[in-house]
Chain A
Amino acid sequence: MANDLVLNAGRARPQATLPALLSAVLRDPWFVLLLALVALGVGWAVTGTTPAAVQALWHWSPALLRGLGVNIQISVLAMALGTIAGLVVGALSLSPSRVLRRLTRAYVLLFRNAPILVLVYFTTYVFPFELNLGGWNLPFPDWIKVVIGLGLPASANVAEIFRGAIQSIPSAQWEAAQSLAFRRTQIFRMIVLPQCVRRMLPSWMNLYASITMSTSLASLVGVHDLVDTATVASNTVARSDFTILVYFTLLALFFAYCYPIARWTRYLERRHEHH
């Protein structure tokens, strides 16, 4: 049964035709809402009756998108850092040495039970603002500290996801592979790991979405991200209808980035259930 997973990995999936795709997209209420908003905007622009708040939002939209870019940059780097560190910690947590297992357990407990905001404050204010490497003074900007602050809890979570995935592989597979004269590294690389990747992917994507949402905390330590830009815009324009608009745009932008990830994750989870 579990071998089917490996065999099916390369199987071609049925391709969706364009009309089918279109109708599926049109049935999604979120997409219909987006279309309606675009139509409303075009209508305002054509008739020249755009409300002042919307005009101000249009004026601020490049800055807001740049802010979103900062958030995405932080989230991608934090996730990369968290994945690499997490795989190392996860691998160590499976080692035969009891001391190593205890240490990794403490690491995972510490960084999973600490509020992410506190970790972000930690890395931002405790780390120096300049690194001194053999006479070179490298600047250590706040956004990199936020990457580290988000990468630490991400690594603890990745370690748990990895450990769970490895342990979910039935030990009978190891024995079967050993009886077929596979070496330990071969079993790991050719049998265990490919299944682990598939099992880890949905949780990993969930974690990425949650890290992306946590990047909003960067605004609290003075990084000029999307939330910070929105606050600046709201204070600069100082109209209450614009304030309403800009904060709900903030919500919409994060939603537009994270919701497709969540949908795709659910799709992968469902597909995984079939096997």
Chain B
Amino acid sequence: MMDSVLQAWVAFFKPLGLNYSFVMDPGELSAFGHGLLVTLQLCAWTIPVSLVFGVLIAAALTSGRPWLARPLQAFVEVTRNTPTLVQLYCAFLVLNMLITQKLGGGNPITPFAWVVIVVALHKGVFHAEALRAGIEAVPTVTMEAARSLAFSRRQILTQVQLPLAVRFALPALVNNLVDLVKMTAIASAIAVGDVTYESIMIWSHRDNVLELLLLILLYFGLLTWLVSVGGRWLEERLRMPGYGQ
């Protein structure tokens, strides 16, 4: 059944000049499928981790404590103004090397984890900027009201400021997440085995670059579309009368 579907697939694209015969090779097909899965896993890990980083960075930046906010501000500037690939190299080739030297071999952090950490921190900075704008958009009257009702600082943050700020920041956050999905492609630079890396492995001896790239573009198109649909659903769900449109 599966075989005949694949055969039909290959036969359908043959006249168009696209050679998808790699799907008939079980080894290459499973490698490609594994790549699809790894990219999905990267997104599934990076999205929540980046959001956590974003909330933490935004909270620190708006905490009003200079010893916390100043170094983080510097970190934000460096992260925003340097390429993610170079950050990944600094983390994977430098920090990873140092950790390995220190521990003498048994390094618990895999390349996959480094990609999650670097991309999540990078996008976390952008989430933080969006959240900060959202936090600043919370009306001061609301804050004063909360303070007059004897909410503590932490309560104001978690129960008043953040719920409102998230709603204000949601469109920007979804935009960042779409960017994040696209950014996971750099995992191929350190051989994590995502869809881009597995495709490079396949096309380097089959010479079917165009065919695979079309599949990759389609796959990323699907993922980014899913994220934006999810974002719109969330916006719809969280909509509060009187706030936003």
> A243 and B213: CB pair below 8 A?
no
> A254 and B82: CB pair below 8 A?
yes
Q: Once the chains are docked, how many angstroms separate the CA of A209 from the CA of B86?
A: 15
> A117 and B186: CB pair below 8 A?
yes
List the one stretch of A139-147, A171-179, A212-220 in contact with chain B: A212-220
Q: Once the chains are docked, how many angstroms separate the CA of A249 from the CA of B83?
A: 13
Shortest Cβ distance from residue B25 to the other chain A in the assembled complex, whole angstroms: 20
Q: Once the chains are docked, how many angstroms separate the CA of A31 from the CA of B224?
A: 39
Given contacts A125-B209, A244-B98, contact A113 B220 (CB under 8 A): yes
Contacts of A57 in B (CB 8 A): none
Contacts of A121 in B (CB 8 A): 196, 200, 209, 213
Contacts of B221 in A (CB 8 A): 110, 113-114
List the one stretch of B107-115, B145-153, B166-174, B177-185 in contact with chain A: B177-185
* A29 to chain B: closest residue by CB: B74
Shortest Cβ distance from residue A7 to the other chain B in the assembled complex, whole angstroms: 30
Given contacts A118-B216, A227-B89, contact A251 B82 (CB under 8 A): yes
Within A35-74, the residues touching B (CB, 8 Å) are none
Contacts of B90 in A (CB 8 A): 247-248, 250-251
Interface size class on chain A is 35 or more
Report A218-244 CB contacts with B as 1/0, cut-off 8 Å. 011000000100110010000010011
Contacts of A219 in B (CB 8 A): 85
Given contacts A113-B224, A126-B210, A248-B94, contact A209 B182 (CB under 8 A): no
Q: Once the chains are docked, how many angstroms separate the CA of A216 from the CA of B90?
A: 13
Q: Once the chains are docked, how many angstroms separate the CA of A110 from the CA of B221?
A: 8
Contacts of B93 in A (CB 8 A): 234, 243, 247
Given contacts A113-B182, A240-B97, A248-B94, contact A118 B86 (CB under 8 A): no
> A255 and B81: CB pair below 8 A?
yes
Within B68-86, the residues touching A (CB, 8 Å) are 74, 77-78, 80-86
> A220 and B80: CB pair below 8 A?
no
> A115 and B89: CB pair below 8 A?
no
Contacts of B78 in A (CB 8 A): 251, 255
Contacts of A255 in B (CB 8 A): 77-78, 81-82
At the interface, yes or no: A122 with Cβ under 8 Å from chain B? yes
Of the candidates A29, A125, A250, the one whose C-beta lies within 8 Å of that of B89 is A250
At the interface, yes or no: A200 with Cβ under 8 Å from chain B? no
Interface size class on chain B is 35 or more
* B218 to chain A: closest residue by CB: A114
At the interface, yes or no: A258 with Cβ under 8 Å from chain B? yes
Contacts of B77 in A (CB 8 A): 30, 255, 259, 262
> A244 and B94: CB pair below 8 A?
yes
Within B202-245, the residues touching A (CB, 8 Å) are 203, 209-210, 213, 216-217, 220-221, 224-225
> A213 and B94: CB pair below 8 A?
no
Within B48-104, the residues touching A (CB, 8 Å) are 74, 77-78, 80-87, 89-90, 93-94, 97-98, 101
Shortest Cβ distance from residue B194 to the other chain A in the assembled complex, whole angstroms: 10
At the interface, yes or no: A192 with Cβ under 8 Å from chain B? no
Contacts of A29 in B (CB 8 A): 74
> B183 and A115: CB pair below 8 A?
yes
> B220 and A117: CB pair below 8 A?
no
Shortest Cβ distance from residue A202 to the other chain B in the assembled complex, whole angstroms: 15
Given contacts A122-B213, A254-B86, contact A243 B81 (CB under 8 A): no
Beyond A126-B210, A216-B86, A250-B90, list 17 extra A-B contacts (CB 8 Å): A29-B74, A115-B182, A115-B220, A117-B189, A118-B185, A121-B209, A214-B83, A227-B89, A231-B89, A243-B97, A248-B90, A250-B89, A251-B78, A251-B87, A254-B86, A255-B81, A258-B82
Residues of A in contact with B (beta carbons under 8 Å apart): 29-30, 110, 113-118, 121-122, 125-126, 209, 213-217, 219-220, 227, 230-231, 234, 240, 243-244, 247-248, 250-251, 254-255, 258-259, 262
What would 29 A/B residue contacts be, using CB atoms closer than 8 Å?
Answer: A110-B221, A113-B220, A113-B224, A114-B217, A114-B221, A115-B220, A117-B185, A121-B196, A121-B209, A122-B213, A122-B217, A126-B210, A126-B213, A213-B84, A214-B83, A220-B189, A231-B89, A243-B93, A243-B94, A247-B90, A247-B93, A247-B94, A248-B94, A251-B87, A255-B78, A258-B81, A258-B82, A259-B77, A262-B81
